[in-house]
Chains A and B, each alone.
Chain A
């Protein structure tokens, strides 16, 4: 049994890793068929992974409720909402008092999506604007050179990326890069320092990804199996 827990996944990772890498250098019909088949398997595995995710979510929240951990009442809400949304998917017709009130023929699931899930998620995200405004007011201080550079850049970006920045520029521009031409400065910041930094980060990330892939293929990196090295 230990073989199937330890060695077997490493063998699969090695064989599939080498095979899919080598496939790129073999432009034949058989190689394309292999890739198509592999991708079909990939989609099936991903679908099963979502089932695993659902079970993991329910297990986590059910344990929280069972052991009465702090905030367990929220787990009741999560479990309840999960089952209501899932079961509503099996009701493909309007329920009196819900969907039909809005002349919608979408069914109860879509009613829940449109009038509960969508506004709730949008509200959660929009609250960020308030937190960011408050946090910027309290924490954004020009304490050092780095903090000052970040602060000045943030202010230029905030004014330059909205129409009021255009309005200020239109009324104050003498040359392309006058102090108040915020959109031009924004463009410069995004295209020169930002792009250079992003390119560096991107190359670093990709090189690390290659290194991790090689480590996984050769069985050096085994944390994906749930344990340490």
Chain B
């Protein structure tokens, strides 16, 4: 299982070390360790309630790790507030898209691109022009294929567009590591396939990506490596095809009531 990890000689971009997250009596993430290497597209999968999103939130700082360490390019993240972790080079595309509804799509992305000018209120007070950021914003909207709607408001957009806006805005932060939380959820199969291709393009352009996704056929198509969580524990780590053939992983996916959900997520893709 761990063969893929030991063969790489590169210093990991993200290092998650024995992270546990407990909510009261419930252990949502239990002693999970993994590395993400520069340029990788890593899938983080597992049945519903496996702790994937909680793991991601422990990396971004939305929830606090009860135990363990997280390093980005060697620098420790645990203990830092969300915004500091983002400024260290993380970027999160959220599962529930949250555009700022009082500004256009372009302004949403441009705001994210202004990181240098918004580092402190004093600096933000000294800068007025946002022409550079609008240019970056436009570039990002083009990258995700919604530049034609740049000046429209988010309120009138369908989910597929908002998902792409979420990607564009997260990309505008110019992250070292791009975390995607179920970007394909809620999309029909052709929309999902198109967005998966966009994600592949983003990865091709040199971005390191961690992808949480339930759509297994797209995960198998996109990811170079999978990490499987179940009940908060890591039960798989390696090349997708091998990982999915592991009886432990199969049992986790096929066991109990997760059978219906995993199959229903896969089947529409064959249509």
Query: Is B truly associated with A?
Result: no
Q: Tell me the B residues contacting A by CB distance below 8 Å.
A: none
Q: Tell me the A residues contacting B by CB distance below 8 Å.
A: none
